[in-house]
Amino acid sequence: GESVGLHLPTLSVQEGDNSIINCAYSNSASDYFIWYKQESGKGPQFIIDIRSNMDKRQGQRVTVLLNKTVKHLSLQIAATQPGDSAVYFCAENIAQGGSEKLVFGKGTKLTVNP
């Protein structure tokens, strides 16, 4: 069955460093991917997305890379700040029935040390 997983459940970085969060997916038919950030006590919030016809997309301080050959997704955060501390989830979009569903990974907890 489909699965979206993360290589590391926790990541600790120093403030100002770059962070890289990885994600593996198993469904080669997935055509759209999203990264979410979840702070304590809140619902997940959209960070950045990428479609399967792209291999890189940049936002403000964040970059998502997609490698369809090895079914791997990564989120890079530049100059990580304490406010970036959160759990990060990747999600893949999978067609089902007449619509599509988002399947989430288990999440990576990012801790930024001052």
Partner 1 sequence: DVKVTQSSRYLVKRTGEKVFLECVQDMDHENMFWYRQDPGLGLRLIYFSYDVKMKEKGDIPEGYSVSREKKERFSLILESASTNQTSMYLCASSLIRQSEAFFGQGTRLTVV
CB atoms within 10 A of CB 27: 16
The DSSP code for 3 is: -
CB-count burial class (<10 Å; 0-12, 13-18, 19+) for 32? middle
Site for partner 1 contains 114 (CB under 8 A): no
d(CA 51, CA 95): 14
Site for partner 1 contains 106 (CB under 8 A): yes
What is the nearest approach in angstroms of partner 1 to the Cβ of residue 86?
13
Window 33 to 92, contacts with partner 1 (CB under 8 A): 34, 36, 41-46, 49, 51, 89, 91
What number of chain residues touch partner 1 (CB under 8 A)?
28
Residues that bind partner 1 (CB under 8 A): 9, 31-32, 34, 36, 41-46, 49, 51, 89, 91, 93, 96-107
